[in-house]
Amino acid sequence: MRTPFIAGNWKMNTTVTEAEQLVSEMIEKLDEIEGVEKVICPPFVSLIAVNMMLRGSSIKLGAQNMYFETAGAYTGEISPLMLSELCEFVILGHSERRRYFGETDEIVNRKVKAALANRLKPILCVGEGLADNEAGKTKEVVHTQVMAGLQGVQPSHDLVVAYEPVWAIGTGKAASGKQAADTIGFIRDILAELWNRTIAQDVRILYGGSVTSANIAEFVSHPEIDGALVGGASLKAKEFVSIVKQTAEIKEKRSSQ
């Protein structure tokens, strides 16, 4: 059985003060919810403060990016070694990084390897853009991104994959549960082919893209979908708590059926 997983990607939002405020608004309620792995990913500058606030709670911390070298003359970059003292997870290959910061599949691949080598669990993001979606190329794009992102990576249960169609991110136009479940099933098949079926059955695969408390049920009701990577809605304490709570309830119901 895979533990359901909800991560909040705060993106480039919140000052340190605001991050502390947001954590204080959600920590107690989130902490009470069992049966879901709960992760928040604030900006780098807030990681230390949030790490201290989360100590002793069941909520885990993730970063939104990192460089692939461990240390050295890379002005302005943050290394996996630095993050490993603070975080358990790191989001890699987010479509915004691919689009605005020129991250290629090769860079993402190096980052995945560097994360695992430093005991960080990667949340590898993949997903097609609108044009590819409309041209019926979703599977082709996702296949390329998964294969390239994981090239030479040893099989690992620590990997989390997030399927995030680019056209659904921040647009309010989420994919349907069925669309997401189809592509996620396909990603699991790729993992089975690349690694093996046993590991593929253990890897959590999330949906991301305009997830809210109003549509989370549609996604997590599918057994294939293990949870969500939540952007905008993770910046509102009530919304995020509701998303985690609904996931816990729905997955619990399914597992006792």
Query: If binding is defined by CB under 6 A, does position 210 make contact with ligand PGA?
Result: yes
For ligand PGA, the closer of residues 195 and 232 by Cβ is: 232
For ligand PGA, the closer of residues 62 and 80 by Cβ is: 62
Candidate list 142, 190, 206, 211; residue touching ligand PGA; CB under 6 A = 211
Q: How far is the CB of 228 from ligand PGA (least distance, A)?
A: 8
Q: Write out 140-156 in H/E/C secondary structure.
A: HHHHHHHHHHCCCCCCC
For ligand PGA, the closer of residues 175 and 195 by Cβ is: 175
User: How many residues form the binding site for ligand PGA (CB under 6 A)?
Assistant: 13
Residue 207 contacts residue 233 (beta carbons within 8 Å): no
Closest by CA to 163, choosing from 199, 191, 135, is 191
* CA separation for the pair 37, 34 (Å, rounded): 8
Q: Taking the CA atoms of 113, 180, 209 and 46 in sequence, report the sign of the dihedral they define.
A: negative
Choose, from 37, 96, 103, 164, the residue flagged as catalytic: 164
Residue 48 contacts residue 16 (beta carbons within 8 Å): no
Q: Is 164 a catalytic residue?
A: yes
Query: If binding is defined by CB under 6 A, does position 229 make contact with ligand PGA?
Result: yes
Q: How far is the CB of 214 from ligand PGA (least distance, A)?
A: 12
Among 13-21, 63-71, 190-198, 230-238, the segment contacting ligand PGA (CB under 6 A): 230-238
DSSP 185-232: HHHHHHHHHHS-HHHHHHSEEEEESS--TTTHHHHHTSTT--EEEESG
Q: Is 134 a catalytic residue?
A: no
Within 131-170, the residues that bind ligand PGA by CB under 6 A are: 164, 169-170
Query: If binding is defined by CB under 6 A, does position 43 make contact with ligand PGA?
Result: no
Q: Taking the CA atoms of 219, 2, 189 and 116 in sequence, report the sign of the dihedral they define.
A: positive
Give the list of residues 6+ apart from residue 196 with CB closer than 8 angstroms, or none: 155
Closest by CA to 248, choosing from 230, 227, 224, is 227
* CA separation for the pair 207, 161 (Å, rounded): 9
Query: If binding is defined by CB under 6 A, does position 232 make contact with ligand PGA?
Result: yes
For ligand PGA, the closer of residues 27 and 211 by Cβ is: 211
Q: How far is the CB of 212 from ligand PGA (least distance, A)?
A: 8
Q: Which residues bind ligand PGA (CB under 6 A)?
A: 9, 164, 169-170, 208-211, 229-233
Residues designated catalytic: 94, 164
